[in-house]
Amino acid sequence: MSNFAIETVGLTYNFGSQTVVKDLSLQVPKGSIYGFLGPNGAGKTTTIKILLNLLKSPADQVFIFGKDINSNRIASLKRMGALVEQPAIYGHLTGKENLVNRCILLGIRKSKCAEMLSLVGLTDAADKKAGKYSLGMKQRLGIALALVSDPELLLLDEPTNGLDPNGIIEIRNLMIELATKHQKTILVSSHLLAEIERTATHVGIINKGELLFQGTINDLHSLSKPTIKIETNDLEKTSAILINAGAEIVQKEEHTISITFKNKEDMGYLNTLLVQNGITVYAISKERKDLENLFLDITSKN
């Protein structure tokens, strides 16, 4: 049995002559909050629409809970809830009426509505017209609508877009609650790493339709290990001495070499070693990329 709620295998999608998704192999583990990251136009919404079978993919490229979506369309969609672009809300109906409407449509008992309103924190606003809701409340109602059928997998396309900091925190907390207390798998897209950094357990970064990184949030963090930037009068010789001493060179620039930082003692040792070998050390500085810069780095290389 597949451990992935979503798996795509070499997925490619074209709009006319434009390839929008290229050889994309996503693996979203069951129970994860998977941050699907990429700058504007990277192909996130298109991918989500393919996952929902709103856009047609070739056979055997998209698997939902281990089954090809094309040959198991209805069964797959029953296990998924989604919020893509604007939530489909009737502004002239109250939040509760919107949910009741959805329950009737799906043949689900109406008592589910109160449960959903409470889950997304809208119980007090249940009888208010949805048109009068704030943007954050509308997003939460959209998530409640996606949840009425009790899907195991939730796809949220930029759910915090346009929200104020409070709204962002509310959605973030809701996602954590859905994953931890209700065992949902969540794929959430964003163009800002900071927005999902504290929520996601796994991350996939795409740009121009290509997957540039996929792994756990800890894997991503370990890419931002601290480094030491060294500037000397002879980079070739410096490089040879450092390699000989077992240092890991991560980057060479015109005037500097960066190595992985191990500890202070090791730094002191390497510094002495360079000086003893006749190198003039102009500068040594410790650097650490924050995740946002790392994200920019990963996406700008593509």
Ligand X SMILES: Nc1ncnc2c1ncn2[C@@H]1O[C@H](COP(=O)(O)OP(=O)(O)OP(=O)(O)O)[C@@H](O)[C@H]1O
Binding site for ligand X (CB under 6 A): 15, 20, 38, 40-46, 191
Report the residue number, 40 or 263, with the smaller CB distance to ligand X.
40
Residue bearing tokens 């006749």: 278
Residue 266: exposure state from Cβ atoms within 10 A (0-12, 13-18, ≥19):
middle
Q: Which is nearer to ligand X, 28 or 228 (CB)?
A: 28
Distance CA 197, CA 163 (A): 17
> In the complex, what is the shortest distance from the CB of residue 205 to ligand X, in angstroms, rounded to a whole number?
11
Closer CB to ligand X, 128 or 208, in the complex = 208
- CB of 77 vs ligand X, minimal distance in Å: 20
Task: Indicate the residue among 22 and 78 with the shorter CB distance to ligand X.
Answer: 22
In this structure, are residues 230 and 238 in contact, taking their beta carbons and an 8 Å threshold?
yes
**Please, are residues 250 and 259 in contact by the beta-carbon 8 Å criterion?**
yes
Strands of the sheet containing 281-287, edge to edge, are 249-252, 256-260, 227-232, 281-287
Nearest to 176 by CA among 161, 162, 186: 186
Q: Which is nearer to ligand X, 46 or 256 (CB)?
A: 46
Q: How far is the CB of 82 from ligand X (least distance, A)?
A: 14
CB of 195 to ligand X, least distance (A): 12
Q: 38 or 87, CB closer to ligand X?
A: 38
Amino acid at 300: S
| Closer CB to ligand X, 2 or 19, in the complex | 19
Q: How far is the CB of 296 from ligand X (least distance, A)?
A: 15
Encoded tokens for 79: 């296990």
CB of 49 to ligand X, least distance (A): 8
HEC string for 155-215: EEECCCCCCCHHHHHHHHHHHHHHHHCCCCEEEEEECCHHHHHCCCCEEEEEECCEEEEEE
CA-CA distances (angstroms) from residue 147 to 82, 125, 236?
8, 18, 60
CB of 57 to ligand X, least distance (A): 14
